[in-house]
């Protein structure tokens, strides 16, 4: 019955029904780095913790806990398997698109849930750097104002694309960007293409 009604791939089903590396006892887990992120719009929150081989700079273990949907659970389960044994630098650059490919694809309206894991992982890696006096390695994802009239950032435009916007006018409707002078239209249109390519598998 579950498979009959299931809209996802078998890999998503496997990771959702039998998730890997769940963080059972957060207090007892001696993490070298911890990251927390959330998406208020869909109500998800994600915690990712890592243990690191400090001599080699390699992730030895990755566990997670989420209050989220099937896509968030399956995506982070897959991510936790993907990053074990990778260097911190390599793991930092694992993207939602990489996870999506690993799972064989997610419905477009659920991609926004799958980004929680990689965002929390990046926060955990940065936390590890801070704890170990390597602040120079911390990467900050600074927001850039794209629409000065409405004070809309590139991060907000990215969220709109993840939520389903595919054109300037759809971003405009969701964020109100470009509704005053319209000078940011070309910039927004370009960003839409950038974020579509970043997050969604090519068909």
Instruction: Specify the residue for token string 């939520």.
Output: 163
Please state the separation of Cα 117 from the chain's center in Å: 5
Please state the separation of Cα 178 from the chain's center in Å: 26
Sheet holding 58-67, edge to edge: 33-39, 44-53, 58-67
Residue 57, judged by CB atoms within 10 A of its CB (0-12, 13-18, 19+), counts as middle
Q: Are 59 and 85 contacting, i.e. CB atoms less than 8 angstroms apart?
A: yes
Q: Are 57 and 88 contacting, i.e. CB atoms less than 8 angstroms apart?
A: yes
**What are the structure tokens assigned to 10, written together?**
């078998």
Q: Are strands 58-67 and 145-147 parallel, antiparallel or unpaired?
A: unpaired
Q: Compute CA distances 121 → 29, 90, 144, whole Å.
A: 16, 12, 22
> Which of the residues are catalytic?
42, 113
What is the residue-wise DSSP string for 44-73? EEEEEEEEEETTTTEEEEEEEEEE--HHHH
């Amino acid at each position: 019955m579950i498979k009959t009604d299931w809209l996802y791939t078998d890999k998503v089903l496997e990771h959702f029904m039998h998730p890997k590396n769940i963080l059972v006892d957060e207090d007892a887990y001696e993490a070298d780095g911890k990251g927390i992120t959330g998406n208020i719009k869909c109500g998800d929150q994600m915690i990712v913790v890592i243990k690191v081989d400090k001599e080699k700079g390699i992730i030895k273990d990755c566990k997670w806990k989420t209050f989220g949907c099937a896509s968030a659970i399956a995506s982070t389960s897959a991510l936790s398997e993907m990053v074990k044994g990778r260097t911190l630098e390599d793991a930092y650059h694992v993207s939602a698109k990489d996870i999506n490919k690993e799972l064989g694809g997610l419905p477009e309206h659920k991609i926004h849930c799958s980004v929680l894991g990689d965002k929390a992982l990046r926060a955990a890696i940065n936390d590890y750097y801070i704890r170990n006096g390597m602040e120079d390695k911390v990467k900050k994802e600074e927001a850039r104002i794209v629409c000065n009239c409405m004070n809309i950032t590139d991060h907000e435009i990215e969220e709109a694309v993840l939520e389903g916007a595919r054109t300037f006018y759809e971003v405009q409707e969701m964020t109100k960007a470009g509704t005053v002078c319209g000078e940011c239209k070309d910039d927004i249109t370009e960003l839409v293409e950038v974020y579509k390519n970043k997050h969604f598998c090519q068909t």
